Structure 1
Amino acid sequence: MTDRIIAFSILCLVFGLPLGVAAIFTGELILDFVFFWPLFMSVLWITGGLYFWFQLERHWPWGKNRPPPKLEGNPLISILIPCFNEEKNARETIEAALGQRYENIEVIAINDGSSDNTAQVLRQLAQECPKLRVIQLAENQGKAVALKAGAAAARGDLLVCIDGDALLERDTAAYLAAPLIEYPHVGAVTGNPRIRTRSTLIGRIQVGEFSSIIGLIKRTQRIYGRVFTVSGVIAAFRRQALADVGYWSPDMVTEDIDISWKLQLRHWTIFFEPRALCWILMPETLKGLWKQRLRWAQGGAEVFLVNLRRLFRWEHHRMWPLFVEYALSTTWAFACAVTILLFIASHLISMPPNLTVDSLFPPEFTGLLLGVMCLLQFLVSLFIERRYEKRVAGSLFWVIWFPMVYWMISLFTTLVSFPKVMLKRKRSRARWISPDRGKGRI
């Protein structure tokens, strides 16, 4: 009951704050926040990305002839692949996992009660590949349960977890394991997913997203000490750290965000390794993209609510930047909604001067500044990402449309998910659904 009261209070605060600001000051003030918050975040991401590059990345060897990372002690790496309705992708994914240059690996595929022919495909692969073990779950239990089953069966203490449609580069497992071996306080390492579905505008725009937005965000968050989430499609964990936090939670919509916060609230560090490349499938329709991003937004809100009271303790002060960023981003979404309502009302009825919003478009100087900063962000991301994906420059035309798409998706998914989660009575087990993964692949 206490959590629900706190949640309702936050919902009222987040929705009421823009109204209160507009009532006390002016509609233009809230409009300024709507335009300048993305600008501020863009500057932060550019600065953090460049700092990460100059301090770390630029010193790393790269190229076709680069040596594989050396792992002290030659530890066993267990690659866990939870699968749900992956009959079309399982073979390709497992073969890529087995094709790692680092040889001391085992691959465990977990069939989570698939309704297609995934079970038969996995059984056939197990007969062909001695390093592959298969776990068959009788019914769909959700990704968190499938991962826990795989972790229980794994013989290694370093667990690399990927989705059933992800293709690992040949050294990805070793790159993910290296920070876990070198730094005892690192509990998880998140990799660098790259998009391979590009047959539609939605797919091509996401290429720009993962290059110019996601990569910079991960680098920036790593610099100031805490990462909002590991990539659910490609991440590695230390078994000791997982045991310390009780492994993945089966009742959270996004197990990756949840485990990230659980680890960091227990003072484990998350490392970002951009060399750990993984090629993934993403939605190529608006409907598929909406469902995916709404789930992400709902998962973030759930984690925020569950951990809210703990965040105010001084022992968790290093999580405060994430808390502030999430809170302001949520406030921004509701501020956008309030601004639109004030704009519509201003053209329908007589409004007080301080609540009147004449235009939803930024002033010329603000619009020019946003455009210049957007272009600068693209150039910085291309400068950093060029070594990981040569053809990313060809997506520049599509990248220029992404900030609008990114912020609009953030706006609408927050408006839908935040109230839904805040007023939700009880969490239930999060089960799989078959996602839209697009058709055009590279």
Structure 2
Amino acid sequence: MKISVLIPAYNSEKEIYTCIRSLLEQTYHDYEVIVVDDGSTDRTGSRLDFYAKIYPELITVIHQENRGVSAARNAALKAAKGDFVLFLDSDDWMKRRTLETLAAAQARYAADVVICGNVYEGRVTTRRHVRRVLIPHKRTLMKMLMKDRQVRNYAWGKLIRRSLFDGLQFWEGRVFEDVQLIGQILLKADKTVIVPDTLVHYNTHRQNSLTYSLRPEILKDMLEAFEDQAGYITAYDPTLKREAQAMLRRVRLLIGGALLLHGRFQDPLMEQILPFSKAASAAEFRVHRNLY
């Protein structure tokens, strides 16, 4: 089974070596690496070309004008030749047995998607994983996604059958593209497996990361992405309406708090999120407090 590892890269000259090195050290051998240099203004592009020259059978580099992470991911998907794809950000890295572990789980359970645990590295290092292999029913999977715990709203950390992207792509020119798309992919999958192994190390400390802060300019995309997710999940299963509403309450609380923190008291977005239909509990809020 061939795996395509897809990496969008922008101004990552200081981090890209660690990312690429983790791929070169993989114990699984049937894979390719496609990196899209999204109009970097530093030496990211030249460094990637150097790696591709040394490993021409493994690494493919695509250069494009700066169009954002979604366009970079879509370009990588278009070029992918693997049966399965795995997204990785350019400043993150994987353990040596990541591809081997995910491929073995896919083969054992005939899965369309395999999700692994991950380590968040930044000001506070945390781990996200389950204690045993889970094969959740699709309804349970959607509940897990909306709670953003064992199943996170990220494209990375998931081995995904490439054909599931047929007719779908990341929305371009906007952020929170993972939230808008990943639930649709999971709904198309016949079987999703969650393994307990923590395999991907995600860097939350970089200044240009969405996880670094809830900046006012991204909040509209955030709201619309979660509203879109709630819409297609409840269309799939109307009995999940309560959980979807709880998710949206948490998201609106986060957006409201971010607007107030930045002094945006008169922001038009505030009218869209207030008043809340129901006060969210402290337990609900904790689920999303470190979302982005």
User: Taking structure 2 as the reference length, what is the TM-score of the superposition?
Assistant: 0.72
Q: Could you tell me how far 1:175 is from its partner in structure 2?
A: 2.6
Return the alpha-carbon distance in structure 2 between the equivalents of residues 190 and 252 of structure 1: 25
**In proportion to residue count, which structure has more helix?**
1
2:120 is aligned, of 191, 195, 205, to 195
Find the counterpart in structure 2 of residue 379 from structure 1: none
Distance in 1, matches of 2:246 and 2:188, equals: 20
Contact 1:263/1:269 (CA < 8 Å) preserved in 2? no
The answer to whether the Cα contact below 8 Å between 1:193 and 1:280 also exists between their aligned partners in 2 is yes
When Rg is computed on C-alpha atoms for both structures, the one with the higher figure is 1
1:101 counterpart SS class: coil
The SS at the match of 1:135 is strand
Is residue 2:40 matched to residue 1:114? yes
In the other structure, the counterpart of 2:91 is 165
Name the CA distance, whole Å, in 1 between partners of 2:191 and 2:215. 26
What secondary structure sits across from 1:225 in the alignment? helix
- CA distance in structure 2 between the aligned counterparts of 1:309 and 1:322, rounded to whole angstroms: 12
Query: CA 1:300/1:179 → structure 2, altered by over 3 Å: closer, same or farther?
Result: farther
Structure with greater proportional strand content: 2
**Corresponding residue for residue 149 of structure 2:** none
Unpaired segments ≥5 residues, structure 1: 1-74, 198-202, 334-408, 425-442
Is there any run of 5+ residues in structure 2 with no aligned partner, and where?
Answer: 146-151, 274-292
The alignment status of 1:143 with 2:65, answered yes or no, reads no
Distance 2:233 2:5 in 1: 33
Query: 2:135·2:191 contact (CA, 8 Å) conserved in 1?
Result: no
- SS of 2:4 mapped into structure 1: strand
Is the partner of 2:75 in helix, strand or coil? helix
| Greater CA drift, 144-153 or 222-231 | 222-231
Deviation at 1:92, TM superposition (A): 1.8
Amino acid at match of 2:169: Y
Q: How far off its partner does 1:96 sit? A: 0.8
Higher relative contact order (CA 8 A, sep 6+): 1
Contact 1:180–1:238 (CA under 8 A) maintained in structure 2: no
Distance of aligned partners of 1:158 and 1:237 in 2 relative to their CA distance in 1, 3 Å threshold: same
Give the residue type in structure 2 aligned to 1:191.
C
Deviations 1:210-238 (A, max 9, x none): 33xx547xx99968322424434433221
TM-score (norm 1): 0.50
The answer on whether the counterparts of 2:105 and 2:114 sit within 8 Å (CA) in structure 1 is yes
* Residue identity opposite 1:190 in structure 2: I
Q: Partners of 2:101 and 2:109 in 1: how far apart? A: 13
- Give the deviation of 1:177 after TM superposition: 3.4
SS at match of 2:213: helix
How many residues of Structure 1 are paired with residues of Structure 2 in the alignment? Answer: 258
Q: Which secondary structure state, in structure 1, belongs to the residue aligned with residue 91 of structure 2? A: coil
SS in 1 for 2:141: coil
Are 2:162 and 1:236 equivalent residues in the alignment? no
- Structure 1 residue 325 displacement after superposition: 3.3
CA distance in 2 between partners of 1:422 and 1:262 (Å): 28
Q: Which amino acid counterpart does residue 156 of structure 1 have in structure 2?
A: G
* 1:107 to partner: Cα distance: 1.1
Could you tell me whether the CA contact under 8 Å between 1:188 and 1:237 is conserved in 2? yes
Q: 1:304 matched to which residue of 2?
A: 226
- In the TM superposition, what whole-angstrom CA distance separates every residue of 1:28-87 from its partner, at most 9, and x where no partner exists? xxxxxxxxxxxxxxxxxxxxxxxxxxxxxxxxxxxxxxxxxxxxxxx1111111111111
CA contact (8 A) 1:163 1:232 kept: no
Counterpart of 2:244, as a letter, is: F
Do the aligned partners of 1:77 and 1:106 also contact (CA within 8 Å) in 2? yes
Identity %: 22
